[in-house]
Structure 1
Amino acid sequence: MKDLISMADLSLEDIYEILDLAAEIKEKRRQGKVIDHLRNKSLGMIFEKSSTRTRVSFEVGMNDLGGHAIYLNSNDIQIGRGETVEDTAKVLSRYLHGIIARVYSHDTLVKLSENASIPVINALSDEEHPCQVLADLMTIMEYKNRVSGMKFVWVGDGNNVCNSLMLACAIVGMEIVVACPKGYEPDEKYVIKTKELGGILTVTDNPLEASKNADVLYTDVWVSMGDEEEEEKRLKDFKNFQINEELIAVSKPDVLVMHCLPAHRGLEISAGAIDGPHSVVFDQAENRLHAQKAVLLKLLAGE
């Protein structure tokens, strides 16, 4: 494993290794113990999209591990003025020990990976968000002491996070039900890949039925970055696809309510759901730091 471009790049063994390492890192940080295994190593962070959790967690993570993170806004480097992704990857490989990229097109990450001689990590693309999903699995493990044999329900847009979650559920052995409006189903190639990996996947347009006996309820914004021109239509199409007290009531008594943030209370999730006793949303956000540090150690330090 050189890169992390897709959840499908990870085996079951890889996932458990990352989760175990992330839990160890989290505990040692709580105790004030230093894990500086990336001393004198530098991480380039290419950002085409704005970010809160991704940027802060990767910068802090590299600092915690003894390394250095360099923020590279795409408008501030030559890639924003026409230099090819291929050339950028080759040049950055001469300077850095790893690259993360938060980009619009998944193809950009593929080109970076194919042309870089150093590890490349997908920090979000239009197709996948594996770093988020590793933090999600870590959070589920903390609360359920397992990540297999449960029912995971996604409510909302069949987007990049949904794609990565489908793959993850297939790999770890979790049933996933995707409830989304017609026309917003997940990408068919990810549906096929999920089933090829042995996943138990159902796609429906009935969120209430989907949520029955759920162990996990998960949602994301209805209007992602890049979808702003469709906002009015999306708000109308998604109006019945909110995680709220009604869906929680038909789920299991210990259901976890998850959201990858940023959240819009009153739209994709009710205030009572995100701020209520079932919510683990801010644990998810924190675990981005620990899970990504584990990925950095695995790829940059070979741990």
Structure 2
Amino acid sequence: MSAVTSRRHLISVDDLADSELYDLVRRGAEFAAGHAEDARPLREHVVGILFRKTSTRTRTAFSAGALRLGAQIIGYGPDDLQQNTGETVEDTARVLSGMLDVLVARTTGPEAELRALADQQTMAVINAMSAEEHPTQALADLTTLHRHFGRVDGLRVLYAGEGNNSASALTLALSRYAGTELHLRTPPGYGVHPRYVERASAEAGRRGGLVEQRHDMADLPEVDVVYTTRWQTTGTSKPDPDWRSVFDPFRVDDAVMAATSAPVFLHDLPAHRGEEVTASVLDGPLSLAFGQAENKYHSARAVLEWCTAGTG
């Protein structure tokens, strides 16, 4: 294991100072442009990849990213650790931190488990999605915007659909840029939690921006980006058997794109054509969704580099 002089965790967007957030987005764009292909800052490092839920993009992004940066990786499935037999998360953290330099973890529960894993001095912990927040998705989203528009400041985004962990992270992250607008249109009972909206709204207000949430699709604003996500968040189910009828008005189709005059469409994938988005939008000329997915890999490299800076 490498000698550690510092370590950083990324559990929430709120863990990042403004300068760190901006630097991570810029660094992701640099990796995407091929400006750092020879960088091997994780040489001699070992990265654990723990996923208790299914993942295509995030797991592959961090696995490939760690390997590209020179690390060796150990993968853990949902049933591989002794927490399944009763070992405490604190004991697991003590053991893993004696062997790993970084742990990338997608959990099934609240952020508190990740905070417990991070309560040690030698292993960086990265939240690859918890019940509350998906911070690395937000970094990929902002990297996509930065690459396409050349900036994030001043952009206007309409987010339509379930107020899930990706939406929470986007809400916190976009509000940190000057003059941005985030219009959340979420079904009644399925919105972004008020604690995120209130924090982000206050943050945006200090920077000349706006964060607002409504539970209808009337009077859509003119925006630069329309963003949606799947209606059935990974690993979750909805108690209301008639939930689809509540979500139907929030489908992104050609009419929504025309009403907002948005030149760009985003989706964090996986997508269900005909549910949250029509095929004509997802596969159409305005869609950046699959480039957005690739940007998860570039952002993952930026995060891994940042978390291990100062170690060697």
- Is TM-score (shorter-chain normalized) higher than 0.5? yes
The alpha-carbon deviation at position 2 of structure 1 amounts to 1.7
Q: CA deviation at 1:234?
A: 2.4
1:187 aligns with 2:193: yes
* Cα shift at 1:297: 0.5
Check conservation: 2:201, 2:212, Cα contact below 8 A. no
Q: Does 1:264 align with 2:272?
A: yes
Match of 2:261 in 1: 252
Residue of structure 2 equivalent to 1:213: 222
TM-superposed CA distance for 1:115, in Å, is: 4.0
Write the letter of the residue equivalent to 1:70. Answer: I
Cα deviations by residue, 1:161-184 (Å, 9 ceiling, x for unpaired) = 111111011111321111011111
Structure 2 gaps of 5+ residues are: 1-6
Match of 1:201 among 205, 211, 214: 211
Superposition misfits of 4+ residues, deviation over 6 angstroms: none
Q: CA RMSD in A?
A: 1.8
1:226 corresponds to which of 232, 235, 251: 235
SS of equivalent to 1:71 = strand
TM-score computed with the length of structure 1 as normaliser: 0.93
1:114-133 alignment runs, 5 A limit:
114-115=119-120, 117-133=122-138
Are 1:76 and 2:92 counterparts? no
Q: How many residues align?
A: 299
Q: Distance in 2 between matches of 1:233 and 1:112?
A: 38
More relative contact order, 1 or 2 (CA 8 Å, 6+ apart) = 2
Please list the CA deviations of residues 46-95 of structure 1 after superposition, one character each: whole Å capped at 9, or x if unmatched.
11101101111111101100101211113111122211111111111000
Instruction: Report the equivalent of 1:240.
Output: 249
Structure 2 CA distance, aligned partners of 1:229 and 1:181?
Answer: 13
| Cα distance, 1:17 vs structure 2 | 1.1
Which of 272, 278, 286 lines up with 1:278 in the alignment?
A: 286
Alignment-mate amino acid for residue 129 of structure 1: H
Structure 1 unmatched runs, 5+: none
Partner residue, 1:135: 140
Contact 2:142–2:174, Cα closer than 8 Å, also in 1? no
Q: 2:104 aligns with which of 90, 100, 110?
A: 100
Paired with 1:48 and 1:28, the residues of 2 have a C-alpha distance of 32
Deviation at 1:99, TM superposition (A): 0.8
Task: Tell me the secondary structure at the aligned position of residue 119 of structure 2.
Answer: helix
- Post-superposition offset of 1:208: 4.4
Contact 1:154/1:218 (<8 A) preserved:
yes
- The aligned residue for residue 53 of structure 1 is 57
Comparing 116-125 with 191-200, greater Cα deviation is found at 191-200
Give the TM-score normalised by the residue count of structure 2.
0.91
Aligned amino acid, residue 143 of structure 2: M
1:232 is displaced (CA, Å) by 3.6
TM-superposed deviation, 1:253:
5.0
Could you say if the C-alpha distance between residues 234 and 116 of structure 1 is closer, same or farther in structure 2, counting changes exceeding 3 Å?
farther
Contact 1:38 1:62 in 2 (8 A): yes
Alignment of 1:15-34 (within 5 A): 15-28=21-34, 33-34=37-38
In 2, distance between residues paired with 1:116 and 1:104? 24
* Letter aligned with residue 273 of structure 1: V
Deviation at 1:229, TM superposition (A): 4.9
Q: Is the 8 A contact 2:53 2:235 kept in 1?
A: no
Aligned residue number for residue 146 of structure 1:
151
Residues 228 and 163 from structure 1, CA distance in 2 versus in 1: closer, same or farther, beyond 3 angstroms?
same
Q: Calculate percent identity across the aligned residue pairs.
A: 35
The answer to whether residue 46 in structure 2 is matched with residue 38 in structure 1 is no
SS at match of 1:195: helix
More helix by percentage: 1
Query: 1:194-233: CA deviations, max 9, x gaps?
Result: 13323521111222423x2111111111111333353743
